[in-house]
């Protein structure tokens, strides 16, 4: 049975690396689900064991915040924020700074992927209308969304998983992450400004080919009541996370229930914006990882690494492994693999910061990057891997160095 489990695990994580499998129309979610089904069908796990392997509080938290974000998307809030930000009467570098701060703040609460999905198309149109080169702003959107999401335990899926599994304090983590994230956002601004000097505006040839006319578009439609309702509920949740002793998943689920009680926004539309694919991906990986752990092979491998000078329970090997694995299999699978060795006092913040900040390295490092690049391509703006890496690599290395220095100062030495 060990051989079967190891084979299924290897195929699933190969799929995480490649994004699919040869000769099969499967994405990462389909691969994880198929792997879980194969393990149950082969008898490696019973149905009861498979269900117990799923960390339900994490799934509830993810689902609840998807509903909150759906409320704001349907109310037009994200488009309105992007429009107002894009039309601020600021010089290009100052406009970039404003965008970075706003995107980071929103990503820390409403998830980086959602922010990029909602803001990228509008941001491109505004930049083209103002004859601004959209590429620096799109890179800032992706990088600051990733960095900003590291600020809280609800900013991205892997942070939710880390916070729920390790029972981290919401306010405690926020205080730990505040300094490296703030410095990281400043680094994003400095690097993009430095690389964009003299390239802020579109050339005459580029402007002549744009489909968007050179005028300020009318403001977007925003549903004031639905937006106010969504923001009020989100603010209440954030305050309760900081001060209330209740489980975070219960608070968030209650908030989702409040938002679904609406006379105007149909629950079908709201639930249609929930990323069910991500929830199924989590469930499949929970089952696959548990099956491997049950065989004892994980513990043996960790012991082997420790015997050869790479003890993953120690801060530096864990930090480096998180960075490397996050760029090989993606941050959520990487965190799932490494959580069993997260025993150090600062292992939670270390995992969250390293896995999230690693996402800026390459386009495929995070879904937020892919969303921004795809939105740009749909509007005739092309960001290839070299162009992204020229910004993403220095941003990643600098932000990781800052995080490690801060954590070392806090108690890793």
Name the phi and psi angles at 380, rounded to 5.
Answer: 80, 15
Dist. CA 209–CA 205, nearest whole Å: 7
- Enumerate residues 6+ apart whose C-beta is below 8 A from 28: 15, 16, 19, 20, 281, 330
Any domain includes 152: no
Name the average pLDDT for the chain: 90
- CA-nearest of 58, 67, 122, 106 to 285 is 58
Looking at residues 398-408, what average pLDDT do you find? Answer: 96
In the chain, how many domains are there?
Answer: 1
| pLDDT the model gives residue 205 | 55
- Enumerate residues 6+ apart whose C-beta is below 8 A from 26: 15, 20, 34
| Joined tokens for residue 191 | 């690097």
Looking at residues 97-101, what average pLDDT do you find? Answer: 97
Dist. CA 274–CA 41, nearest whole Å: 29
**197 CB burial (10 A radius; 0-12, 13-18, 19+):** exposed
- CA-nearest of 372, 407, 369 to 122 is 372
Any domain includes 160: no
Range with lowest mean pLDDT among 218-222, 261-265, 348-352, 356-360: 218-222
**310 vs 94 pLDDT, higher one:** 94
Any domain includes 36: yes
- Enumerate residues 6+ apart whose C-beta is below 8 A from 292: 5, 6, 9, 298
pLDDT bracket for residue 413 (50, 70, 90): low
- CA-nearest of 352, 351, 373, 355 to 364 is 373
Neighbours of 311 (CB within 10 A): 16
Chain center to CA of 60:
17
389 and 189 Cβ atoms separated by less than 8 Å = no
Residue 17: pLDDT above 90? no
pLDDT bracket for residue 148 (50, 70, 90): very high
Domain with 11, as residue range(s), is 1-53+275-300
Residue 234: pLDDT above 90? yes
Residue 51: pLDDT above 80? yes
Dist. CA 87–CA 401, nearest whole Å: 34
Any domain includes 279: yes
pTM: 0.88
Looking at residues 341-367, what average pLDDT do you find? Answer: 92
**355 CB burial (10 A radius; 0-12, 13-18, 19+):** buried
| pLDDT the model gives residue 239 | 95
157 and 107 Cβ atoms separated by less than 8 Å = no
Looking at residues 61-85, what average pLDDT do you find? Answer: 93
| pLDDT the model gives residue 412 | 63
Question: What is the Cβ-side half-sphere exposure of residue 93, based on CA atoms within 13 angstroms?
Answer: 11
pLDDT bracket for residue 102 (50, 70, 90): very high
| Joined tokens for residue 109 | 């609460």
Q: What percent of the chain has pLDDT over 70?
A: 95
Residue with tokens 């489990």: 5
pLDDT winner (highest mean) among 1-10, 139-148, 294-303, 377-386: 139-148
Any domain includes 262: no
Tell whether the torsion through CA atoms of 119, 325, 172 and 236 is positive or negative: positive
| pLDDT the model gives residue 206 | 54
For the chain, the 3-state helix, strand and coil shares in percent, each to the nearest 5, are: 75, 0, 25
Beta bridge partners of 132: 201
Residue with tokens 């879980």: 36
49 and 237 Cβ atoms separated by less than 8 Å = no
Any domain includes 294: yes
Residue with tokens 């099969």: 24
For the CA atoms of the chain, what is the radius of gyration? 22
Any domain includes 15: yes
| Joined tokens for residue 397 | 């290395």
Name the phi and psi angles at 201, rounded to 5.
Answer: -105, 155
| pLDDT the model gives residue 214 | 44
Residue 305: pLDDT above 70? yes
Any domain includes 296: yes
- CA-nearest of 113, 100, 80 to 226 is 80
């Amino acid at each position: 049975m060990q051989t079967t489990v190891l084979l299924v695990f290897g195929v699933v994580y190969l799929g995480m690396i490649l994004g699919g499998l040869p000769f099969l129309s499967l994405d990462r979610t389909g691969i994880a689900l198929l792997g879980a089904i194969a393990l149950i069908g082969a008898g490696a796990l019973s149905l009861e064991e498979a269900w117990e392997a799923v960390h339900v509080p994490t799934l509830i938290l993810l689902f609840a915040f998807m509903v909150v974000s759906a409320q704001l998307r349907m109310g037009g809030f994200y488009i309105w924020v992007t429009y107002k930000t894009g039309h601020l009467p600021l010089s290009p570098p100052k406009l970039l700074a404003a965008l970075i701060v706003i995107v980071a703040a929103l990503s820390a609460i409403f998830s980086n992927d959602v922010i990029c999905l909602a803001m990228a198309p509008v941001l491109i149109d505004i930049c083209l209308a103002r004859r601004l080169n959209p590429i620096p702003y799109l890179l800032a959107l992706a990088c600051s969304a990733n960095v900003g999401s590291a600020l809280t335990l609800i900013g991205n899926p892997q942070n939710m998983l880390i916070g729920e599994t390790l029972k981290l304090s919401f306010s405690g983590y926020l205080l730990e992450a505040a300094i490296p994230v703030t410095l990281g956002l400043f680094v994003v601004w400095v690097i993009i400004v430095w690389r964009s000097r003299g390239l802020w505006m579109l050339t005459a040839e580029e402007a002549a080919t744009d489909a968007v006319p050179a005028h300020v578009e009318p403001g977007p439609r925003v549903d004031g009541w639905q937006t106010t309702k969504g923001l009020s509920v989100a603010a209440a949740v954030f305050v309760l996370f900081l001060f209330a002793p209740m489980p975070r998943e219960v608070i968030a689920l209650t908030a989702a229930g409040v938002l679904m009680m609406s006379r105007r926004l149909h629950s079908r539309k709201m639930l249609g914006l929930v990323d069910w694919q991500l929830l199924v991906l989590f469930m499949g990986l929970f089952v696959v990882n548990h099956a491997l752990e049950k065989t004892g092979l994980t513990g043996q491998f960790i012991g082997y690494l420790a015997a050869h000078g790479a003890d993953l329970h120690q801060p530096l090997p864990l930090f480096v492994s998180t960075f490397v694995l996050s760029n090989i299999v993606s941050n959520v699978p990487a965190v799932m693999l490494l959580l069993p060795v997260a025993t150090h006092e600062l292992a939670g913040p270390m995992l969250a910061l390293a896995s999230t900040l690693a996402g800026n390295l390459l386009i495929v490092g995070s879904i937020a990057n892919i969303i921004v690049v795809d939105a740009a391509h749909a509007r005739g703006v092309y960001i290839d891997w070299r162009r992204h890496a020229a910004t993403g690599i220095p941003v990643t290395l600098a932000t990781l160095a800052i995080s490690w220095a801060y954590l070392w100062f806090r108690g890793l030495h």
